[in-house]
A and B are shown apart, each in its own frame.
Chain A
Amino acid sequence: MFGNEKQTQSEFKKGLNKVYTWYTGGFILFVILVAVMEQMGLSRNWIGYLFLAATVLLYAGIGVMSRTNDAAEYYVAGRRVPAMYNGMATGADWMSAASFIGMAGTLYLAGFGGLAFILGWTGGYVLVALFLAPYLRKFGQFTIPDFLGARFEGNLPRLIGVFGAILCSFTYVVAQVYGVGLITTRLTGLAFEVGIFAGLAGILVCSFLGGMRAVTWTQVAQYVILIIAYLLPVIWLSVKHTGVPIPQAVYGFTLEKVTAKEEVLIKDPKEIEVRGIFKARSEAAVEKLKDVPAAMAADKAAAQKKVDDLKAANGPVADIKAAEAALAALPKDEAAAKAAYTAARVSNAARSNPPIRHATPFPGKDEAASDISRKNFLALVFCLMIGTAALPHILMRYYTTPSVKEARESVSWSLFFIFLLYFTAPALAVLAKFEVYTILVGTPFDQLPGWIARWSVVDASLLSVADVNKDGILQLAELSIGGDIIVLATPEIGGLPYVVSGMVAAGGLAAALSTADGLLLTIANALSHDLYYKVLDPNASTARRVMVSKMLLLIVALAAAYVAAQKPADILFLVSAAFSFAAATFFPPLVLGIFWKRANKWGASLGMIAGLSVTFYYMVTTQPWLFKLTHGGAALTPEILKANTWWDIAPISAGLFGVPVGFAVIIIVSLLTKAPGKDIQELVEHVRFPSLDGKVSAGSAAH
């Protein structure tokens, strides 16, 4: 079904069109069927099981059908993936759990500031199209370190490339596996660890049996599911509020209403009262921090007194129990108390702030703060764009098209399919905000909709409400909502049937699985092809190389699952860090390798090391978690942070320094050392022209 040697390209394409049309129809039918069953009384848990089982089995089925041991099929899907399908596969490969679940949430919480992600994660494709995709396709090998090894003559640049590829892909894959576990848990109620391994089984069957070929055709299937799942609830909400089924065209007017409501909420006396209470709590925590032992004693005395008073007054058993629990939950030692007071200070201070103005660019208390905010926005956009154009698992996809021409068209399709989701995300954020601001806020506490209770049970850090000022009405300041639930909870916020929630969760799963597939393959290929075949054992047979790759895939997948099961802190930071690392390591040598014949081995090797080191150094000195990890547990105080920060740039944008350093070092060192030989000049010319004489060249036909 997914191609054999005898078919011509156009027969192959026609076959694919038929398969995926039927498939899309089948998926829609399946959703309708589950919707009917829901009306007939199917429980929520069963809807979750159905969506999980059906989609994971489907991906596994495609994996089994595309199994292969042939090297060209395994590494680059036989180089026969038509431009449009490669675009869809790249879309699914690209859009991870962070894009699907996290981005609209970030936009909800950060307003204009969140648009940096929208710009960065789409604009990067312009760089892919102009600087990399057609040339890499013409080069026509299997991996990105392959290009570095061939262009810069030797194993040193190749090995640095392998290290860089593994560094960015592994941090990224851990986040995907974590996302898989999270969604499976929400969808079915299974334990987190079980969820991780259920999802992992789906990833493995696919990439283990069929490598790039299976991953490609699964990713196309996953794209179809994720885009339907993302668009449908937003269209539904849009019809509900505006009567127009094209949310992207009309949410400007909803944004106007949200903006008007923000002004009301900022001045509302009840809201100000609640924010004042949080401010007082934060100030109380600051007082306690001044003398921790005394504060601990006072807390203990107060809690003890409450228990004694209740007992003396013969109060209700439940109240006594609660008071005793509060007493037992007090921090035991000084360090724990200090940590608890610091956390209370920070979280209460955050909640005492008025709501942000969604549409206002670069909010800040004065001109200087606003300038810093603008600087960081631009720096983040820069890093995300360059990082997008340097992530090995994305660039690898452009090796799979049949020709340079199709590689160019394929970038165009990739961005189009990504665009469909990315220009919807800001609409979703605004529509969800409208629901919350105008419908939810002001509701009496005893009439709150059911989804609030259901999500607070899952995780109080994602959603919690408390009647802080005891007036029985929900104020906006009394609601704490985490970004990660906006997309998953939108169907419930908008009052849609549960089947839509199940479908959205299945879409999130598709997004996480497809990205994990591509990343795992990148890591396994870097190790098996670049390290094992090209460096350790150049005489290894094709079958043996594929076998080694499959074994490594298994090991890497299990390692990623193991790390994800530890629930590492700051996982979102790690994902963003991967972009800065990729940007600083790969972008300068790839671009200069194609556009500057003079760039040589030593320039590229030292440039990659320098770019990566500068990026890493900046993160380690300015990111709290990494600072603690590398400085023997010492905390990053505001004073140290101020001294270490360059030009007020946040650690997430460390690539802003790494990329120029990488370029500069490559250029300077290359000019100081010997120019590359004649064969390299010819390789560069070979890469620059789709064909020097109008014929199919050996490079693109060589499997």
Chain B
Amino acid sequence: MQLTAKHQEYWSKNLRITGILLGIWFVVTFVMVYFAKALTFKFFGWPFSFWVAAQGALVVYCLIIWYYARYMNNLDNEYGVAEGDE
């Protein structure tokens, strides 16, 4: 089947959201850890960088995946590429 302009638009929107979420993933993981020694101010008892690596980043990962699933499932419906019910 030939791809329509609508299909192309769906795919580029997918690539855009993938890129944005990957950027957030990169910042909370690698940038945060790189500057871990500077970010040791107290955060509810934890040094901040310890808390990020032990909990904060994990929460962000969960949110990224949850948001991606929601966004893409809506996008499928919007562009008419969702699978019908079996």
Residues on A close to B: CB < 8 A?
9, 112, 115, 118-119, 122-123, 125-126, 129-131, 134, 248, 250-256, 359-362, 370, 374, 377-378, 381-382, 385, 402-405, 408-409, 411-412, 415-416, 419, 422-423, 426, 682, 685, 688-697, 700-701
| Count, chain B residues at interface, CB 8 A | 48
How far, in whole Å, are A205 and B77 apart by their CA atoms in the complex?
43
Q: A123-B25, A377-B33 are in contact. Are A690 and B68 (CB under 8 A)?
A: no
Secondary structure class of chain B's binding surface, majority of residues: helix
- Tell which of B49, B65, B73, B76 touches A125, judged by Cβ atoms closer than 8 Å: B65
Query: Shortest Cβ distance from A185 into chain B, in angstroms?
Result: 32
Q: Which residues of A contact B36 (CB under 8 A)?
A: 112, 361-362, 374
Query: Shortest Cβ distance from A420 into chain B, in angstroms?
Result: 10
Query: Shortest Cβ distance from A190 into chain B, in angstroms?
Result: 37
Query: Shortest Cβ distance from B9 into chain A, in angstroms?
Result: 12
Query: Shortest Cβ distance from B58 into chain A, in angstroms?
Result: 5
Instruction: Say whether A381 contacts B83, CB under 8 Å.
Output: no
How far, in whole Å, are A701 and B64 apart by their CA atoms in the complex?
29
Asked if B5 lies at the interface with its beta carbon under 8 angstroms from chain A, I say no
Instruction: Say whether B55 contacts A423, CB under 8 Å.
Output: yes
Q: Which residues of A contact B21 (CB under 8 A)?
A: 126, 130
Q: What are 25 contact pairs spanning A and B, CB under 8 A?
A: A112-B49, A112-B53, A123-B29, A123-B61, A126-B21, A129-B64, A134-B72, A251-B45, A360-B47, A362-B36, A362-B37, A382-B30, A404-B83, A405-B76, A408-B69, A412-B62, A689-B81, A690-B76, A690-B83, A691-B83, A692-B3, A692-B7, A694-B80, A694-B82, A694-B84
Instruction: Say whether B50 contacts A255, CB under 8 Å.
Output: yes
How far, in whole Å, are A422 and B54 apart by their CA atoms in the complex?
8
How far, in whole Å, are A396 and B34 apart by their CA atoms in the complex?
33
Query: Shortest Cβ distance from B86 into chain A, in angstroms?
Result: 6
Q: Which residues of B contact A685 (CB under 8 A)?
A: 1, 3, 7
- Tell which of A130, A254, A696 touches B22, judged by Cβ atoms closer than 8 Å: A130
Q: A256-B45, A374-B34 are in contact. Are A695 and B54 (CB under 8 A)?
A: no
- Tell which of A255, A370, A419, A694 touches B46, judged by Cβ atoms closer than 8 Å: A255
Instruction: Say whether B50 contacts A123, CB under 8 Å.
Output: no
How far, in whole Å, are A15 and B25 apart by their CA atoms in the complex?
37
Instruction: Say whether A253 contacts B45, CB under 8 Å.
Output: yes
Q: Which residues of A contact B57 (CB under 8 A)?
A: 119, 122-123
Instruction: Say whether A115 contacts B72, CB under 8 Å.
Output: no
Instruction: Say whether B50 contacts A408, CB under 8 Å.
Output: no
How far, in whole Å, are A405 and B75 apart by their CA atoms in the complex?
11
Instruction: Say whether A423 contacts B83, CB under 8 Å.
Output: no
Query: Shortest Cβ distance from B56 into chain A, in angstroms?
Result: 10
Q: A118-B54, A409-B69, A691-B83 are in contact. List 18 more A-B contacts (CB 8 A).
A: A9-B86, A112-B50, A122-B58, A123-B57, A126-B61, A129-B65, A361-B50, A378-B33, A381-B29, A411-B69, A412-B69, A415-B65, A423-B54, A688-B11, A690-B81, A691-B84, A695-B83, A697-B83
Q: Which residues of A contact B37 (CB under 8 A)?
A: 361-362, 370, 374
For A257, the closest partner residue in chain B by CB is B45
Q: Which residues of B contact A126 (CB under 8 A)?
A: 21-22, 25, 61, 64-65
Query: Shortest Cβ distance from B45 into chain A, in angstroms?
Result: 3
Q: Which residues of A contact B50 (CB under 8 A)?
A: 112, 115, 255, 359, 361
Q: Which residues of A contact B3 (CB under 8 A)?
A: 685, 692
How far, in whole Å, are A125 and B60 apart by their CA atoms in the complex?
12
For B15, the closest partner residue in chain A by CB is A595
Q: Which residues of A contact B53 (CB under 8 A)?
A: 112, 115, 118-119
